[in-house]
Amino acid sequence: MISKLIKGNKKFKDTHFHKLEGKFDHLVEYGQSPDVLFIGCSDSRVVPDLIMDSKPGDMFILRNIGNFVPTYKNDDDFHGSSAAIEYAVSVLNVRDIIICGHSHCGACESLYKDLSNEEDLVHVRKWLELGSKAKETTLSKIKDKSDMQAIYRMTEKESIKTQLENLLTYPEILRKVNAGQLDIHGWYYKIEDGSIEYFNGETDSFEELK
């Protein structure tokens, strides 16, 4: 695989880079000023710039397991995802934040597995706590508790709603949203057909993105 990637970079330099050379020159000279913070899953099947047809400079991208947003915590620990969110909002001044969940998300499925004895997954286990509210909500709402695929699909969507709520625990995000300077969006990408649904807060449902 590594040799394939090395060949891939050569191909990129010889083809795509040339096409975008002017754009990169501009981005080097003036720096980046993306309008959007895109928070997606690390899943290899969800490739933000591919599915949005976006270009270098368009989106500041944060990917982590489950596209989770940790709640605001002003302490002395290391908070990689929170730092990226803070930087995008307070330094880059993005206008929009997209939380993009997706179908067949391994993180959401893992919420239903017992990882308590997995000693090599201490950080994953802790991180997955950010999905626990989505799991609880799903199990309280869903009627057929034997249909695991339906449970996973609902959990993926409920989690997007939770992460939107978590975004608003950041004082600067709350302030900017209330001031009309920032919009936050919950999107759901379907791996099987490439389409996206968005969360409509007024109807509390996911609808086709138009």
Contact range with Zn ion by CB under 5 A, out of 15-23, 38-46, 147-155, 178-186 = 38-46
Q: Are the CB atoms for 102 and 188 separated by under 8 Å? A: yes
- Binding status of residue 43 toward Zn ion by CB under 5 A: yes
Instruction: Answer yes or no whether residue 41 interacts with Zn ion by CB under 5 A.
Output: yes
- Rounded CA separation 71/165 (Å): 9
105 lies in the binding site for Zn ion (CB under 5 A): yes
Total number of residues that touch Zn ion (CB under 5 A): 4
Q: Is 154 in the site for Zn ion (CB under 5 A)?
A: no
Quick check: 158 binds Zn ion (CB under 5 A)?
no
Query: Which residues lie below 8 Å from residue 73, measured CB to CB, with a gap of 6+?
Result: 79, 82
Contact region for Zn ion (CB under 5 A) — 6-14, 100-108, 162-170, 178-186? 100-108
**CA atoms of 196 and 102, how far apart (whole Å):** 9
22-30, 54-62, 102-110, 114-122 -> range binding Zn ion (CB under 5 A): 102-110
Told to check if 88 binds Zn ion by CB under 5 A, we report no
39 counts as binding Zn ion under rule CB under 5 A: no
Closest approach, Cβ 93 to Zn ion, in A, equals 28
Contact indicator for 100, 191 with CB cutoff of 8 Å: no
CA distance 142 to 149: 12
Please state, in angstroms and rounded to a whole number, the distance separating the CA atoms of residues 58 and 84: 16
Residue 27 or 137: which CB sits closer to Zn ion? 137
How near is the Cβ of 141 to Zn ion at its closest, in Å?
21
From CA 68, how far away is CA 100, in angstroms rounded?
Answer: 10
Whole-angstrom distance between the N-terminal and C-terminal Cα of the chain? 37
Tell me the per-residue interface mask from 161 to 180 with Zn ion, x by CB under 5 A, - otherwise: --------------------
Binding segment (CB under 5 A) for Zn ion, from list 42-50, 85-93, 145-153, 178-186:
42-50
Give every strand in the sheet of 183-189, ordered side by side: 59-64, 36-41, 96-102, 183-189, 196-200, 205-208
Q: Is 49 helix (H, G, I), strand (E, B) or coil?
A: helix
Minimum CB separation from Zn ion for residue 122, in Å? 20
Nearest approach, Cβ of residue 104 and Zn ion (Å): 8
Q: Which residues bind Zn ion (CB under 5 A)?
A: 41, 43, 105, 107
